[in-house]
Amino acid sequence: MQNLLVADKVSKNYGDFRALNQLSIEVPKQSIFGILGPNGAGKTTFIRIVNQITMPDEGKILLDGEPLQPEHIQYIGYLPEERGLYKSMKVGEQVLYLAQLKGLSKKEATKRLKYWFERLEIGDWWNKKIQELSKGMAQKIQFIVTVLHQPKLLIFDEPFSGFDPVNANLIRDEILKLREDGATILFSTHRMESVEELCDYMALIHKSNKLLDGKVSSIKKKFKSNTYQVGVEVENEEYFLQQAKEKFNIEPTFFHSIHQDLQVNIQIAEQYSQNDLLAFLMNHGRINHFVEVVPSVNDIFIKTIQSHA
């Protein structure tokens, strides 16, 4: 079984509004899967369906090969976008309560909680009430609540929003560590740079429909435009540009360089390879800089949504 989570043509309506339309995705085991989409695209609806908070109208969800059922909640850890805890409840008691709801025994939960408290160096918080903690401290507790029952599938809805940079880094490192330990991570966000940084796979949802999905690297490959960022030192810039424009598409660009060179983006057509471009450049001057322009997830996101508008 390669995929931990499979959604098969899942749809959800709220009254006349179709929140999710025939969404199918496959989340491989031990991967980090990013669900992207603008606000209101249907990300949270999908995540709530996986968490069995709402039921899909059509389609089915498989977790580890089995149709989703109530017992599965213990295998899922969920950090919702709207976070919160009981303000007047003590930290230790609260985490134990939530962990027991996820099926842990009180004894086991206590043991694990002590481990996390030591690890995050927050041992003296046990008897504090949430309302006495700062926001950043409460966020740490929230994270512990999500992972304490060692779920196979971790779902983070906008994990970095609302976290301060220190905590965001902490969470990112913990997410990577959890993946190493065998967990599969699904996260939803509209912040592209976090996808760039963390995700192996992604799916793009827009207006209730999936527009594209797959491995991040293959998607990028598909979206690359055969463009190279080039820095060359040439004797006659005008002559060079004139020659280049006959064969390639040229646009000015900028990057930091220690040389006094000509900086351009060169897009090559189908019939040429990058070696042809290199040969051309070598003939005309000294090459200081030669990099393929890889589309950022942000570019792909905007491009895809615009092409569907």
Partner 1 sequence: MRNLKLIIIREYLARVRNKTFMIMTFLSPIIMVGMVVLIAYLSSLNSDENKIVAIYDESETFFSEFSSDEDISYFDFSDMPLEAAIDSVDKKDYYGLLFFPNSTDNQYLAKHTEFFANKAPGISFINQIENKISSVLTEKELQRRGVDLNAINQAKTEVNLQIENFSGEETSKLSNYVKMFFGGAAGYLLMMFIIIYGNMVMRSVIEEKTNRIIEIIISSVKPIQLMIGKILGTSFAGITQFAIWIVFGSILLFVVTGIFGVDISSSTPVPATQLDAGSQDEIRKLLTDIVHLPLAKIIGCFLIYFIGGYFLYSSVYAAIGAAVDSETDTQQFMFPIIIPLMLGIYVGFFSVIDNPHGMVSTIFSYIPLTSPVVMLMRIPFGVAWWEILLSILILVLSIFALVWIAAKIYRVGILMYGKKPSYKELYRWLKY
Read off the tokens for 124: 């003296």
Read off the tokens for 52: 């069995």
Residue 246: closest CA among 274, 266, 223: 266
Q: Smallest distance, Å, CB 80 to partner 1? A: 4
Read off the tokens for 46: 């999908």
Nearer to partner 1, 94 or 265 (CB): 94
238: alpha, beta or left, given left = phi > 0 and alpha = psi -120 to 50? alpha
Read off the tokens for 151: 């779920």
In three-state secondary structure terms, 243 is: helix
Q: Smallest distance, Å, CB 291 to partner 1? A: 44
Buried b (16+ CB within 10 A) or exposed e, 196-219: eebbbbbbbbbebbbbbbbebeeb
Distance of alpha carbon 173 from alpha carbon 164, whole angstroms: 14
Residues 6+ apart with CB under 8 A from 294: 220, 224
Q: Smallest distance, Å, CB 13 to partner 1? A: 9
Amino acid at 103: G
Buried b (16+ CB within 10 A) or exposed e, 240-253: beeebeeebeeeee
Q: Smallest distance, Å, CB 174 to partner 1? A: 18
Nearer to partner 1, 102 or 284 (CB): 102
Nearer to partner 1, 103 or 123 (CB): 103
Distance of alpha carbon 91 from alpha carbon 210, whole angstroms: 40
Residues that bind partner 1 (CB under 8 A): 14-15, 48, 51-53, 70, 73, 76, 78, 80, 82-89, 97-98, 100-102, 145
Nearer to partner 1, 88 or 260 (CB): 88
Q: Smallest distance, Å, CB 101 to partner 1? A: 4
Residues 6+ apart with CB under 8 A from 136: 163, 164, 166, 167
Q: Smallest distance, Å, CB 139 to partner 1? A: 13
Nearer to partner 1, 48 or 284 (CB): 48
Nearer to partner 1, 14 or 239 (CB): 14
Q: Smallest distance, Å, CB 124 to partner 1? A: 21
Amino acid at 78: Y
Helix (H) or strand (E) holding 163, with range, is none
Nearer to partner 1, 48 or 206 (CB): 48
